């Protein structure tokens, strides 16, 4: 089995409050991206609407995937976490713009809350 290596870019937020996880891990032919909140690289929540927050999440995913040698077009699986399922349709409109003609496999899960008023988090697996 191939070894694993951490992916780190300053173009996306560092692990939340210094928590012990990597932005992403490259292993074999895949990159596993930790869940991304709608935070700027400096750690501020960006946007108040689900559309604005989902756009910021995709900016973070793109930065991390690009740093790993992958890209948004190479995502094979995502998990979307939403605080309010009433946001599902609006999140999907933004999501659709970023995942291309062959959308990845996906799960969507409702959660109780996120820090700092965030409404969405997305984790991703991409091919290299």
In this prediction the pTM is: 0.96
CA atoms within 13 A on the CB side of 124: 31
Dist CA 120 CA 32 (whole Å): 18
Dist CA 7 CA 116 (whole Å): 25
| Averaged pLDDT for residues 97-121 | 96
Q: How many domains does the chain have?
A: 1
| Averaged pLDDT for residues 80-93 | 98
CATH number of the domain at 74, please: 3.30.1330.40
Instruction: Provide the percentage of residues in the chain whose pLDDT is more than 70.
Output: 98
Per residue in 37-60, pLDDT tens?
Answer: 999 999 999 999 999 999 999 999
For residue 99, give its domain range. Answer: 4-127
């Amino acid at each position: 089995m191939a070894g694993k290596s951490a992916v780190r870019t300053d173009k996306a937020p560092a692990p939340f409050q210094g928590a012990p996880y990597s932005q992403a891990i490259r292993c074999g032919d895949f990159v596993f991206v930790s869940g991304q909140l709608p935070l700027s690289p400096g750690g501020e929540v960006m946007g108040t609407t689900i559309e604005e927050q989902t756009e910021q999440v995709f900016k973070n995913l793109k930065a991390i995937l690009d740093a790993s040698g992958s890209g948004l077009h190479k995502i094979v699986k995502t998990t979307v976490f939403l605080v309010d399922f009433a946001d599902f349709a609006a999140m999907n409109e933004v999501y659709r713009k970023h995942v291309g003609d062959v959308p990845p496999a996906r799960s969507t899960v409702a959660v109780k809350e996120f820090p700092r008023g965030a409404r969405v988090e997305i984790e991703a697996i991409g091919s290299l």
